[in-house]
Structure 1
Amino acid sequence: MNMYEAARYLAHAIERGSNLNQGAHHVAIGGPSAIGKSTLARAVKEILVVDSTAKVSLLELDGFMMSRSVRRKLHLSGYDPTAHDLATASRVIDDLLGGREANVPIYDHRTGAHAFMHRMAPVQVLVVEGVQALHHKLLRADTIRIEITASLLVRIFLRWKDDVRRRNISWPRAAVHTIRETWAHHLQSKKRAGDSPAITIRRLLFSRYRVVMDKRARS
């Protein structure tokens, strides 16, 4: 399936068995960097806005990550949970789903620093995306957990292309950085704390996707 079909599938999976117009709903979309989480999450959010009367917003977790200069000084990868302010991210999620406004920092990948603060209004459906979206400190008992995966070669290619485009660095430097970060993701995924996802989507080349697992289809 293409990106829009994958987003439509995820939106229907989120709606399945849930009344989005009642209560508060937390959707977590996690996976490695540059795999297409943000693009899918934005598309899912727009589809949910059209399909329901619920107020839906997207929260990007990159804003809770340390700046690039600080991470370099501390020798931390962006995949390391300690490089993220998960406590503040958790409070923001609680506030937005609990009827309260929250200040959300915005991260600029080109500069590696935080650009500004954005004031978000409370919502009924909060779609949270980021490499730490499935971390146990950010999950609730009723969180709808979605993981985007890919083969090693696809992850390396997508990350390399993203580094060249967003960070504006040379191809050789991007290749070195990609290999280092892909290895860091491999190490972190081995010890990641958190429940298994309800839905797993595999990213293929040429913006194609395939559903690997959908527990909600059996619920």
Structure 2
Amino acid sequence: MSKLRQHEVVALLAQRVGDLQRSGGTVVIAFGGEGNCHKTTITLLLCEYLARSGINATFLEIDSFARDRGERFREGISGYDPHSFDSASFHRALMLLADGKPVAVPYYDHQTGRSCLNATCEEHPHEVQPGRVVVAVGLFFTIQPDALRPELRIFFRSRGRGKLISRLRRDIRNRGYPPTTALINYVRMRRDYRRWMQPAITDCDWVIDVDGSTYKLRFRRGAMA
């Protein structure tokens, strides 16, 4: 497939999700893969698109369940390592949403690298409401196949020569990393990507290669049937 723009990707996703939703019940889809690939932005646009079609959609991000950054850094692990998250709590919350129940979740501040666990705190959003479509945004090793199987699994993969610079810029400007820390974290991410994330590609329905503002879709396992 030729390169697409963001709105075209969202339209294709909405079409596929709409097809899945017609079978009845709650549809759970999973967005995983590399960071800095616009997963959250596409999730928000997809939810808006579906809402215009009369389909209520919600999403749950694995980042909400991240351990404090300082703790992870001391252990020498990056956000691509499953030990960076409270995966069990993320999965329990996902199961409740799939069952049509609201959930209270932590709030993780990417700027400070710390979580707010106080569900009654009014400074941050903590409650996630259920929807007819639930998007699990995160890493595929957190989706336990014996407990819940998303109807559609999509892997986002970063491409292009500016990959390193883009990641470092985001971590320094938006997340408050000192430059040396950002570079160390990037090296750890590449190591953890190869170990924990890359093997998940073969079990996905779609792979979306992201190069700046363009996208290329690769379909697997008859996902468009």
TM-score range, shorter chain: 0.7 to 0.9
**Aligned partners of 1:26 and 1:143 also within 8 Å:** yes
Deviation string, structure 1 residues 68-103 (Cα, Å, up to 9, x no partner): 022123322211112211111111011111122211
TM-score (norm 2): 0.83
Judged with a 3 Å threshold, the aligned counterparts in structure 2 of structure 1 residues 196 and 64 are, in CA distance, closer, same or farther, namely same
Residue number in structure 2 paired with 1:86: 87
Moved over 4 A (4+): 170-173
Q: How far apart in 1 are the matches of 2:164 and 2:77?
A: 19
Residue number in structure 2 paired with 1:31: 33
How many matched pairs?
213
Q: How far apart in 1 are the matches of 2:148 and 2:68?
A: 27
Residue number in structure 1 paired with 2:50: 48
Gaps of 5+ in 1: none
Within the candidate set 214, 219, 222, 1:208 is matched to 214
Judged with a 3 Å threshold, the aligned counterparts in structure 2 of structure 1 residues 185 and 155 are, in CA distance, closer, same or farther, namely farther
Q: 2:218 is paired with a residue of what secondary structure?
A: strand
Q: Which amino acid aligns with 2:153?
A: R
**Aligned partners of 1:86 and 1:137 also within 8 Å:** no
**Aligned partners of 2:141 and 2:196 also within 8 Å:** no
Within the candidate set 167, 182, 191, 1:174 is matched to 182
**Aligned partners of 2:156 and 2:210 also within 8 Å:** yes
Pairing of 1:68-79 with structure 2 (within 5 A): 68-79=69-80
Within the candidate set 9, 21, 35, 2:12 is matched to 9
Judged with a 3 Å threshold, the aligned counterparts in structure 2 of structure 1 residues 70 and 170 are, in CA distance, closer, same or farther, namely closer
**Aligned partners of 1:164 and 1:171 also within 8 Å:** yes
Deviation string, structure 1 residues 113-166 (Cα, Å, up to 9, x no partner): 114541122222111112x24544167235311111123745423322211221
Q: How far apart in 1 are the matches of 2:194 and 2:62?
A: 20
Gaps of 5+ in 2: 120-125
Of 148-157 and 160-169, deviating more is: 148-157
Percent of counterpart pairs with the same letter? 23
Is residue 102 of structure 2 the alignment partner of residue 97 of structure 1?
Answer: no
Judged with a 3 Å threshold, the aligned counterparts in structure 2 of structure 1 residues 179 and 67 are, in CA distance, closer, same or farther, namely same
Q: How far apart in 1 are the matches of 2:160 and 2:188?
A: 13
